[in-house]
């Protein structure tokens, strides 16, 4: 069975092939990754050298529990990226109809389809709510958690922690996902979490296997999740940068269509033309196969605004 290439966004490699330039020339706004990453702490030698040990794993889970206010009665799993959990969620129940309100992050539909599920809103045995939604920014409510299995993907919720539905995670059949790479700006580290009832977490743990999280990820993740001050300052900075981006892009004729403080969604006349124009100045953006009008932009790093302004 050949691997199916999916539209993952990103694709800066391909953009460089078409438009020239090397990585240092490009301002990559095609993702929703915070461009000012959590400062890397010093990583002790044993984190690289030894198999990750139980104490280091427990320290990470304890930090995650405190940071996200995980309810008593819910357990946590750390995995090598939220995507690693997404691929295994469809194995939590027998295949049936799954409701994945569109448009949204396409990896969920691909994962359920790969396990024999079919998309259908009526009588859904499972429901996937990306919260806030990517790319629209839509938030869901407790009333929407209305299928036997409900996945609540909070990969972009750390900019709006007050909106989190993590409280629901102790209820059987509810799985909350958290991504480390996006808000903390360290997507290369590969770290993500699932929060759910203990039986569900044990099953997901079997499916992801032992030592899924690297020693450096355990160490950096633990430090970062124990640092609520950095998170608060980052939220404030991202909110300001989002407003600045909106002013800039709507000033060029785009209309704000949604987003979060990690990415903004605009409606434009011809998104492919906008993407090509920006790419000629080595700014990479995200467009979507299902919409002619949606243009999604991540936030520039502090040194990237001039390049973006010139490209617009």
What number of residues does the chain have? Answer: 312
Task: Choose one: 156-164, 166-174, 185-193, 227-235; the region binding its own copies (CB under 8 A).
Answer: 185-193
Min dist CB 83 to its own copies, Å, is: 6
Other Cβ atoms closer than 10 A to 233: 12
60, 64, 81, 260: which one binds its own copies (CB under 8 A): 81
Q: Are 258 and 267 in contact (CB under 8 A)?
A: no
Min dist CB 164 to its own copies, Å, is: 24
217, 279, 287, 299: which one binds its own copies (CB under 8 A): 217
103/205 with CB nearer its own copies: 205
Site string for its own copies, 4-43 (x = CB under 8 A): x-x-x-x-xx---------x----x--x-x---x--x---
Backbone phi, psi, residue 47, to 5°: -65, -30
Under the binding rule (CB under 8 A), the answer on residue 298 touching its own copies is no
Under the binding rule (CB under 8 A), the answer on residue 114 touching its own copies is yes
138, 203, 235, 293: which one binds its own copies (CB under 8 A): 203
DSSP, collapsed to helix, strand or coil, labels residue 95 as coil
Under the binding rule (CB under 8 A), the answer on residue 181 touching its own copies is yes
Min dist CB 143 to its own copies, Å, is: 31
29, 47, 63, 287: which one binds its own copies (CB under 8 A): 47
Residues 6+ apart with CB under 8 A from 192: 78, 79, 80, 81, 82, 83, 84, 85, 155, 177, 178, 179, 180, 181
Under the binding rule (CB under 8 A), the answer on residue 135 touching its own copies is no
26/68 with CB nearer its own copies: 26
188/253 with CB nearer its own copies: 188
Q: Are 132 and 101 in contact (CB under 8 A)?
A: no
- Nearest-5° angle of CA 161, CA 73, CA 225? 40
137/185 with CB nearer its own copies: 185
How far is 108 from 93, CA to CA, in rounded Å?
15
Under the binding rule (CB under 8 A), the answer on residue 59 touching its own copies is no
Total of residues contacting its own copies (CB under 8 A): 55
Under the binding rule (CB under 8 A), the answer on residue 247 touching its own copies is no
113/139 with CB nearer its own copies: 113
Burial class (CB in 10 A: 0-12, 13-18, 19+), 139: middle
Q: Where are the alpha helices (DSSP H) in the chain?
A: 12-19, 45-49, 54-67, 82-86, 107-114, 198-208, 215-225, 228-250, 271-280, 305-311
């Amino acid at each position: 069975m050949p691997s199916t290439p999916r539209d993952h966004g990103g694709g800066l490699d391909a953009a460089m092939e078409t438009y020239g330039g090397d990585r240092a020339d490009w301002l990559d706004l095609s993702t929703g990754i915070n461009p000012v990453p959590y400062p890397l702490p010093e990583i002790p030698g044993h984190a690289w050298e030894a198999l990750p040990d139980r104490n280091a794993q427990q320290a990470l889970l304890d930090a995650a529990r405190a940071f996200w206010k995980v309810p008593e009665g819910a357990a946590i799993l750390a995995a090598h990226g939220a995507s690693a959990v997404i691929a295994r969620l469809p194995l939590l129940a027998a295949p049936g109809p799954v409701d994945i309100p569109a448009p949204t992050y396409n990896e969920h539909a691909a994962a359920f389809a790969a396990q024999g599920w079919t998309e259908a809103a009526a009588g859904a045995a499972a429901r996937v709510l990306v919260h806030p939604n990517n790319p629209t920014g839509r938030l869901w409510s407790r009333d929407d958690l209305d299928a036997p299995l409900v996945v609540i993907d909070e990969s972009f919720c750390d900019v709006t922690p007050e909106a989190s539905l993590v409280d629901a995670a102790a209820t059987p059949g509810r799985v909350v996902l958290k991504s480390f790479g996006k808000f903390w700006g360290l997507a290369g580290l590969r770290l993500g979490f699932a929060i759910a009832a203990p039986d569900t977490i044990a099953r997901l743990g079997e499916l992801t296997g032992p030592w899924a999280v690297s020693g450096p990820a355990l160490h950096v993740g633990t430090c970062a999740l124990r640092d609520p001050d950095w998170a608060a300052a980052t939220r404030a900075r991202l909110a300001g940068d989002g407003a600045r981006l909106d002013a800039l892009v709507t000033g060029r004729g785009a209309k704000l269509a949604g987003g979060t403080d990690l990415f903004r969604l605009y409606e434009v006349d011809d998104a492919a033309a906008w993407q090509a124009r920006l790419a000629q100045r080595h700014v990479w953006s995200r467009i979507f196969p299902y919409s002619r009008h949606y243009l999604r932009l991540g936030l520039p790093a502090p040194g990237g605004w001039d390049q973006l302004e010139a490209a617009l």
